[in-house]
Amino acid sequence: MEMPVLVEWATPTDEPHMRDLLDAAELARHDRFVRPEDKARFVTGRFLARTVLAERTGLAPESITFTTECPHCAGDHGKPRLPGHAIDFSLSHSGDRVVLALVEGAVVGVDVERESDRDIDRLAEMVLSAPERETFAALPPGDRKRAFHVYWSRKESILKATGHGLAAPMSAIHLSAPGDAPEVLSWDDDAAVSPVRLADLSLGSGYAAALAVLTPHPLNVTAGPSSADGRTMSGT
C-alpha cells in the first residue's frame, strides 16, 4: 500500500479575492506584516490551503477555519490544522514559492528553502549531526550550499510534520547524504518519531524542498504548480 501525497505550489500574490477568504485573525496578521512580499506569501498559503481543502472536503472555502494551537504553550502560533477531518496539511513559503502538502490518515510536513549565501559553515554546526558534518566537510566547496539546504529542508519538513518546528533540535536527526534517497538513519531526541517517510520536491532552480509523512508506507507524491497558480491568478 502506498500513501498518496498531494503537493501544490504557487507564486505569492496578494489580491482582494484571496484576502476575502481570510478570517478575522488572519486578516489582522496580514495587516501586521510590513513587507508586501510577506503579506503575499501568507495570504497565498492560506488561500491555497482553503481552496485545496474545499475541493477535498466539499466545504465552502470561506467556511474553513484552522486551529493553530501551539503544543508547547497553547499559544495561537502552531501548525494549522483542519479540525474534524482526517486530512493533514502543511504550508511553507520562501522567496517566490508557496507550497502546500496534504495527506489523509497521517500527518505531513513540508519545507521549501530558497538557497542563500548565509553563513552555511556556521549554521551547519547547529543543523547537522556529527556524522552529517563529516559528510558535509568532505564535499567540494561548490556543492556545500546545495547540500546544506537539502539537509535543512528535509529536517524542517520532519519537524513541521510533528508540529515541533524549530523548537526541537535539527542536529539530533541523522539523515542519509544529500545526494542519496532521503531517509532518517537515526534520531535520538524527545521529539523523535518513527516511522518517517521523506521525499524531495523539485520547485525550481535555487530552491531546496522536501516533505515528510509519519507513515510506514512508501509515498506516492503528486506534485504540480498548474492548478494552484491558476486559482491564485484567476480566482476561479
Ligand X SMILES: CC(C)(COP(=O)(O)OP(=O)(O)OC[C@H]1O[C@@H](n2cnc3c(N)ncnc32)[C@H](O)[C@@H]1OP(=O)(O)O)[C@@H](O)C(=O)NCCC(=O)NCCS
Q: Which residues bind ligand X (CB under 6 A)?
A: 42, 45-46, 70, 72-73, 75, 78-80, 90-93, 111, 156, 160, 163, 165-167
SS3 for 225?
coil
Q: How far is the CB of 198 from ligand X (least distance, A)?
A: 16
CB of 138 to ligand X, least distance (A): 27
- Give the nearer residue to ligand X in terms of CB position, either 165 or 206: 165
Kindly list the distances between the CA atom of residue 75 and the CA atoms of 82, 140, 167, in Å, as whole numbers in the listed order.
17, 43, 14
Question: How far apart are CB 141 and ligand X at their closest, in Å?
Answer: 25
HSE of 159, CA atoms in CB hemisphere, 13 A: 21
Judged by beta carbon, residue 59 or residue 167, the one nearer ligand X is 167
Name the residue among 152, 37, 158 with its Cα closest to residue 101.
158
8 A C-beta contact, residue 155 and residue 209: no
Residue nearer to ligand X on the CB measure, 64 or 135: 64
DSSP codes joined into one string, 160-218: HHHT-GGGS-GGGEEE--TTSPP-EEEE-STT--S--EEEEE---TTEEEEEEE--SSP
Give the strand pairing for 97-104 and 87-94.
antiparallel
Residue located via cell numbers 494551537: 69
Question: In the structure grid, which three cell numbers stand for residue 139, read together?
Answer: 564535499
Which single residue brings its beta carbon nearest to ligand X?
A: 165
What's the count of helices (H) and strands (E) in the chain, helices before strands? 7, 9
Which CB atom, from 111 or from 135, has the smaller least distance to ligand X? 111
Do 213 and 225 meet the contact criterion of CB atoms below 8 Å apart? no
